[in-house]
Amino acid sequence: MAELLLEIFSEEIPARMQARGAEDLARLVGESLKAQGLEAKSLRAVGGPRRLTLVADGLPKAQPDTTEERKGPQVGAPEQALQGFMKAAGLTSIDQADVRELPKGKFYFAVAVKKGRPTAVVLKEIVEAALAQLPWPKSMRWGTNPTRWVRPLHSIICLFDGAVVPVEFARVKAGNTTAGHRFLAPARIGVKNAADYTAKLKKANVVVEPGEREEIISRDLARLAAAEGLSVRADAGLLSEVIGLVEWPVPLLGTIPDAFMDVPAEVMTSAMRKHQKYFALSTKSGAFANRFGVIANMVTKDKGKAIVAGNERVLSARLSDAKFFWDQDREQPLASRVEKLQERVFQASLGTVLDKTKRLVKLAGHLAELLKADTQGAERAALLCKADLSTGMVGEFPDLQGIMGRYYALHDKESAAVADAVAEHYSPLGPTDACPSKPLSIVVSLADKLDSLVGFFAINEKPTGSKDPYALRRAALGVIRIILENKLRLPLRAAFGHALAGYDALKVDAKKISDEVLDFFADRLKVHLREKGVRHDYVSAVFALGTEDDLVRLIARVDALAAFLTSDDGANLLVAYKRAANILRIEEKKDSKTYAGDVAAESLGAAEGEQLLNTLNGTAVIRIVREDDFATAMAELAKLRAPVDAFFDKVTVNTDNADQRVARLTLLARIVVVMNQVADFSKIEG
């Protein structure tokens, strides 16, 4: 067994492309090795600022030999057939073929052993193909080179069992040398294998492993902060990006001038992370500190003083812009900026952001009434929630929309509840983002998302496959989470109706759009609950009733249904239900009629039938379901198990007595109707 070491050394690869590039390289090489019978015991690729590195260990030194068989003509076949077979099989004499006894007689077989090729030969083909197929999001040409790649290539290492594999790509021939840090150790370095490669690069100020670079940054930055009684604010996204910007991470601390400390912490954090890739720090009380962390890619004689000073100058210039916008924006009330939203298009067919704002005001008022929230406060928050889009600060830092609206609303003496609703109406932005929990924030967030959902469905701009340009799946999931996490008793059809009222100019079929959006919610809810271990068919069984649009009640019903069906009574009753429904479907189709209505006990002609009918007549399932007591409703259903089992054990439904047959089929229909008051059991799998 031997090792493959592959390094692609280039100009700086964008940080956001490194991990995916390494994954794709490992996938392409791994799949090709397996296809060639050369599967490695271990294979891993990593990315860095100037290199992709792959190591495959435990590779055989040659492909395994393979045997190919070719079936020929029957013994005694004409000479012409034999000659054609020998030519195709590469035989000089028919005696070289095997003769085998088959059911239809004796036949010739040619058996050829194909010698496996040396792994090094196969690797050249595999690596060159993988490099050509690597799917970079963006690629480029350089000089007169016709090959496209993410960045200009400098060198390739391709060593198998210590020997160079003569790979050539983009006019670069593979060798056994690489280069260290661009400034600290730029000389070429000869390597023998993966361990030698990693060790020598570390001496040349290059940390190959992204995980090790992450550990150095996190550990050393935390140590520097702790020495000053501070802590580093968690920022996984920034850390992931910085790992891809440095080969030799050197954390340093800089200082933010006091003149900028009255600017909101979110503004300074955004300015530092977005433009400069700096880490924000906190005091022991959790307040924003006047220090920042910067990760240098350089070791200097002055221990980074010049680097810190340079970064402080750059940050001061950036924060000067932010302070200017902060001071300027507060010179006029947030409410005065609402009319300027007319200048921003929400969507060509759905109007401007001002049009959306006007719809939100009305919708928020209706939702506040439904949810018993402050209607006036909800309408005020809805009016202001998009206004900060017209501010200079949000124009410069778009990620602060909503956040700045809250600051400006508080400056204008708006209530804290209104200001919080302005800040939180975009939430949740993703599955891990916190949901609004304050009444006005809930109302305005729901209004914003519902307006978008019904609007885009009304103009037939629905998500398709993997495409969702207007993030409607995220909006629907946000509505679901807000309702469920806050246990809101919100009838969705009523909410959709109020939202659609804002689009009366579109002249749409409101019921059709509501049905489509509700179906869309059902699909999103299945995804949401599947992640929590709830079966999708249980959700379908409840949604299929067509009357359930209260998500809190729906979940309670689904939970009760799941608990019921995992019990013996539930599992057996489900089997009986499916049996009853199948018999009923077959007989109704055969008779071209449906069986429904009342059943006279004496017409059933069987004591077991009378007992089942009495149990069905005595059940309180319908009343209990209306009272939202689904656990009790399931317990009530469980009472059907014994009489249903007895009925199917002792009674023949399709009896020769026509009147009894009709009565018994009608009884089966009654079973289906009663059970379907809880859920459509036909939707449940198994």
Residue-wise pLDDT tens digits, 89-111: 888 888 888 889 998 889 999 88
Cα dihedral 624, 625, 626, 629, rounded to 10, equals 70
Q: What is the pLDDT of residue 656?
A: 87
Q: Model confidence over 41-51: pLDDT tens digits? A: 999 999 999 99
Query: SS3 letters for 258-275?
Result: HHHCCCCHHHHHHHHHHH
Cis peptide before 428 (omega within 30 of 0): yes
Q: What is the pLDDT of residue 495?
A: 95
Q: 94-98, 257-261, 266-270: lowest mean pLDDT where? A: 94-98
Q: What is the pLDDT of residue 631?
A: 87
CA 293 – CA 486 distance, rounded (Å): 38
Distant-in-sequence, close-in-space partners of 49: CB < 8 Å, separation ≥ 6:
12, 13, 15, 18, 244, 245, 246, 247, 297
Q: Model confidence over 177-189: pLDDT tens digits? A: 999 999 999 999 9
CA 579 – CA 587 distance, rounded (Å): 12
CA 644 – CA 629 distance, rounded (Å): 23
Q: Which CATH class is domain 334-533?
A: mainly alpha
Residue 282, strand partner residues? 231, 288
CA 595 – CA 124 distance, rounded (Å): 73
Contact 489, 556 (CB under 8 A): no
Q: Rounded to the nearest 5°, which phi and psi values hold at 221? A: -70, -40
Q: Model confidence over 269-297: pLDDT tens digits? A: 999 998 899 999 999 999 999 999 999 99
Q: Where are the strands (E) in 48-96, listed by range?
A: 51-59, 66-74
* Residue listed under structure tokens 């409410």: 335
Q: Model confidence over 310-368: pLDDT tens digits? A: 999 999 999 999 999 999 999 999 999 999 999 999 999 999 999 999 999 999 999 99
Decide if pLDDT at 630 tops 90: no
Ordered by start, the domain boundaries in the chain are 2-62+118-203, 70-114, 210-329, 334-533, 563-683
| Mean pLDDT, range 8-26, rounded to an integer | 97
CA 529 – CA 97 distance, rounded (Å): 63
Q: What tokens does 414 get?
A: 């708006």
| Mean pLDDT, range 522-526, rounded to an integer | 89
| Mean pLDDT, range 365-378, rounded to an integer | 96
Sheet with 279-282: strands ordered across: 231-232, 279-282, 288-296, 250-255
CA angle 294, 300, 301 (to 5 degrees): 135
Q: What is the CA radius of gyration of the chain?
A: 36
Contact 634, 570 (CB under 8 A): yes
Mean pLDDT of the chain: 93
Q: At what angle do helices 403-411 and 416-424 cross, to 10 degrees?
A: 160
Q: Which of 17, 28, 81, 80 is nearest to 54 (CA)?
A: 28
CA max distance for the chain: 105
For 563-683, the fitting CATH number among 3.40.80.10, 3.30.300.30, 1.10.730.10, 3.30.70.20 is: 1.10.730.10
User: Residue 633's pLDDT band (boundaries 50, 70, 90)?
Assistant: confident
Contact 289, 281 (CB under 8 A): yes
Q: Model confidence over 479-497: pLDDT tens digits? A: 999 999 999 999 999 999 9
Residue 110, strand partner residues? 70
* Pairwise pLDDT comparison (408 vs 66), residue with the higher score: 408
Q: Which of 77, 82, 106 is nearest to 96 (CA)?
A: 82
Amino acid at 615: T
Q: What is the pLDDT of residue 266?
A: 94
Contact 231, 225 (CB under 8 A): yes
Q: What is the pLDDT of residue 93?
A: 87
Contact 259, 388 (CB under 8 A): no
In the chain, % of residues over pLDDT 90: 68
Decide if pLDDT at 29 tops 90: yes
Q: Which of 232, 270, 283 is nearest to 253 (CA)?
A: 232
Q: What is the pLDDT of residue 658?
A: 87
User: Residue 73's pLDDT band (boundaries 50, 70, 90)?
Assistant: very high
Q: Where are the strands (E) in 321-444, listed by range?
A: 345-347, 351-352
In the chain, % of residues over pLDDT 70: 100
| Mean pLDDT, range 583-593, rounded to an integer | 90
CATH topology for 2-62+118-203 is Alpha-Beta Plaits (3.30.70)
| Mean pLDDT, range 195-200, rounded to an integer | 97
Q: Model confidence over 116-128: pLDDT tens digits? A: 899 999 999 999 9
User: Residue 548's pLDDT band (boundaries 50, 70, 90)?
Assistant: confident
